[in-house]
Amino acid sequence: MERRIGSALILIEDKQEVALLNQIISRHSDIIIGRQGLPLRDYQINIISLILDGNSDQISSLTGQLGRLNGIQVKSVMLKPIEVNSNFK
C-alpha cells in the first residue's frame, strides 16, 4: 500500500479520556512524525495536531480509534500517495 502524508486535528472537550487518547497515540507512534498540543484556556478545550506518514489504513485506524472516544473530535486530511525522493537534499 502506498505511503501518504496526512494530518489529524484532535479537539479535546472532556479530559476524562486523555489517558486513553495518549495510549492510542503511543500505539501508532510509528506513523507520527510530529505532534503539537495547545491549550485553549479561553474556550476550556485542548487541541492536538499530528503530522502523519503512513498508508491510508494506518492513518484511518488511528483516527477511527480516536474518534470513538467520548469528548474527543477528530478531523484528518491525507495528501495523494507519495514516492520517496532519494535526490531531495
Distance of CA 43 to the CA centre of its chain: 21
Residue 84 banded pLDDT, cuts 50, 70, 90 = confident
Q: What is the pLDDT of residue 81?
A: 87
Is 88 part of any domain? no
On the question of pLDDT at 86 being above 70, the answer is no
**Domain span at 22:** 3-78
Is 83 part of any domain? no
Is 87 part of any domain? no
Q: For residue range 33-77, list pLDDT tens digits in order.
A: 999 999 999 999 999 999 999 999 999 999 999 999 999 999 999
Residue 89 banded pLDDT, cuts 50, 70, 90 = low
Is 8 part of any domain? yes
C-alpha cell of residue 5: 502524508
Q: What is the CATH number of the domain that holds 66?
A: 3.30.70.1150
CB 33 within 8 A of CB 88: no
Average pLDDT over residues 72-85: 90
Q: For residue range 3-44, list pLDDT tens digits in order.
A: 999 999 999 999 999 999 999 999 999 999 999 999 999 999
Cα–Cα distance between 57 and 1 in angstroms, integer? 9
The count of domains in the chain is 1
In 3-state terms, what secondary structure has residue 82? Answer: coil
